[in-house]
Amino acid sequence: MGEFFDAIRVHTPGNAFEAVLLAALLLVAFFAFRRAAGPGTGFLVVAVGLGSFIQVGHPAIPMAIAVAGLLLARTAAVHGSGRSWVPFARQLVLVFAGFILYEVARFNVVAEPGPAVRNAGRVVSFEKGIGAFFEPDLQRLLTSTDWLTHSFNAFYSHGFLAVVAGALVWLYFASPERYRLYRNALGLSTVLAIILIVLFPTAPPRLSPGLGIEDTVVVLGREHSFANEFAAIPSLHVGWLSLTGYVLALPYRRWRFCTIAFLPGLAMQTTVIVTGNHYWVDGVVGTLISVGPALLIRHGSPLLDLPRRGTSWLAAHRPGPAGARRVQFSVLALGGLFLYLGVAQFLQPGFTDFWGYLFFQVGATIVLLAAGEFAFSRQGGLSGLTHVIAVVCSYADVLGTDGNLYARIDEYDKLTHFMGTAAITAGAYDILHVLAIRRGSSRPPVERLYLAVAIGVALGVAWEVYEYFGDRVFHTTRTQGRWDTFNDLVSDAVGAFTLGMLLWWQERTAAAPAPAEEAYIPPPGEA
């Protein structure tokens, strides 16, 4: 607690311009809120804005409050408590108390540098394992000029709380229901964040040696003031702005919803990476523990009823004997591969650079195959060929990566391209078959063949495009030239067409009527 109070500083305007700007913002906020919610509320928001400047030393929060007031005064969108300032004061006390408790907890949960740096190394290894460690490249790309770097620094240091404060104030008056959702999700995210900081202290990129990532704040001659240097996971900067976007976007639909919901979080995700304060994984975790509680609160009743509904659904969609045997085969086969990856990583951490990617891929394949059998049980489930090719492809990819077969055998990559696209095509054909049965379609199976092959080839092309841009942007060195890319696409096309033809032939054979028995004609003279 003492360290928290030691960190409190009293700031005053540094020059005449800053003093005039602060006074103007406070006056705008007062008159806007006075018009929208009464003089008592006007004085309260002025006190909040002035207090935030005294503590932070930057006019960003007063500016955000003034903008919120102008929006309220313009639309006269005040609900709930009307013009009474007392309920608003209670909410201010509640929010400030929660924020202070969170800050006190962060000051008292401080890790040693050693474990935090090791955990940061694990994060970097995971990102490299899936070919997505792009933080150094992104920082170099977006800090080419001082003004751009200053902009990212300012948004990281001051824009974060300003957006949150402005959203809280505006939502309280404009949409009490969304305000409660926002406030409660913020509170739950702080609890989850403290738990993660205790369990997995992580050094930020700027404090992790050997990554080539600079501290942009220090480079430009400023100093950091952090409650806990080793709390990179989670990034509440990203999480809270993602939550802000989601809550503000709720009244909208389609492209407006997507723009408002995703833009704040993506902007802050870029900022925390560019300033050297977080890995992209930190932002993903921060978003999960911030937006996740909001989704749970908003859809709480259906989620609480999921176990009962899920049990009923599984009982109604239980695969038949053939489907159960297919699920058993795939779960046992891929489960052994899943176990192999886990044990190998435990005994020899980093035994392959792509461990995280392979582990996720095998687990996702198990889930998708089992889910397909349950979801399509009434239409016969997935085909046996789909299960077999998915299992064989998974083994080929894992063993080829672990045994370095991709580098030792030139044709090995083409084999896995063939099988991977074949597995995708098989799954697509099965889904199209199920949809045709459900809709009572009379279209010939050959149309499903063409569409499934097209889907498989299209995804193969998309993978090559991903590899190309990965090489150009993130220097992953996945592609080996135009001829290699052409051969990959040929392997994709052959794999898609081969499995499509097999499933098409299998469907036609199963649907063909049995040959009629010839009538017995007795020989002459037989009674």
Q: Does residue 310 form part of some domain? A: no
Q: Is the pTM of this model over 0.75?
A: no
Q: Does residue 223 form part of some domain? A: no
Q: Which amino acid is at 167?
A: A
Q: Are both 239 and 368 inside the same structural domain?
A: no
Q: Does residue 517 form part of some domain? A: no
Omega before residue 234 within 30° of 0, cis: yes
What is the full per-residue pLDDT of the chain (527 aa) written as tens digits?
A: 444 444 456 677 778 888 898 899 889 888 888 887 888 888 888 888 888 888 777 888 889 889 988 888 777 555 544 567 888 888 888 888 888 888 777 766 666 788 888 889 888 988 888 888 888 888 888 888 888 888 888 898 888 899 999 999 999 988 889 999 999 999 999 989 888 888 888 888 988 888 888 888 766 545 555 556 788 888 999 999 999 999 999 998 888 898 999 999 999 999 999 988 899 999 999 999 999 999 988 876 554 454 555 556 556 667 888 888 888 889 888 888 878 887 777 667 666 777 777 888 888 899 999 888 888 888 888 888 899 999 999 888 888 887 777 778 878 888 888 988 989 998 998 898 888 888 887 778 888 888 989 998 998 888 878 776 655 554 545 556 677 778 888 888 898 888 888 888 887 777 665 555 444 455 565 54
Residues near 355 by Cβ (< 8 Å), separated by ≥ 6? Answer: 129, 341, 344, 345
Q: How many domains does the chain have?
A: 3
Q: Are both 92 and 119 inside the same structural domain?
A: no
Q: Does residue 527 form part of some domain? A: no
Asked whether 478 and 471 are in contact (CB, 8 A), the reply is yes
Q: Are both 352 and 391 inside the same structural domain?
A: yes
- Of 257, 277, 304, which one is at a domain's C-terminal end? 304
Q: Are both 464 and 413 inside the same structural domain?
A: yes
Q: Are both 463 and 329 inside the same structural domain?
A: yes
Q: Does residue 384 form part of some domain? A: yes
| C-alpha pair distances (Å), 76 with each of 71, 167, 506 | 8, 16, 67
DSSP annotation of 221 reads: T
- Of 87, 108, 129, which one is at a domain's C-terminal end? 108
Give the torsion through C-alpha atoms of 173, 178, 180, 184, to 10 deg.
-140
Q: Are both 412 and 480 inside the same structural domain?
A: yes
Asked whether 175 and 79 are in contact (CB, 8 A), the reply is yes
What is the CB-side half-sphere exposure of residue 112 using CA atoms within 13 A?
A: 3
Q: Does residue 434 form part of some domain? A: yes
- Of 57, 90, 108, which one is at a domain's C-terminal end? 108
Q: Does residue 84 form part of some domain? A: yes
Q: Are both 422 and 467 inside the same structural domain?
A: yes
Q: Are both 355 and 258 inside the same structural domain?
A: no
Q: Are both 299 and 348 inside the same structural domain?
A: no
Q: Are both 21 and 147 inside the same structural domain?
A: no
Q: Are both 292 and 357 inside the same structural domain?
A: no
Q: Does residue 313 form part of some domain? A: no
Q: Which domain holds residue 67?
A: 1-108
Q: How far apart are CA 250 and CA 258, in angstroms?
A: 10
Q: Where are the alpha helices (DSSP H) in 350-444?
A: 355-375, 384-402, 405-408, 412-439
Q: Are both 208 and 278 inside the same structural domain?
A: yes
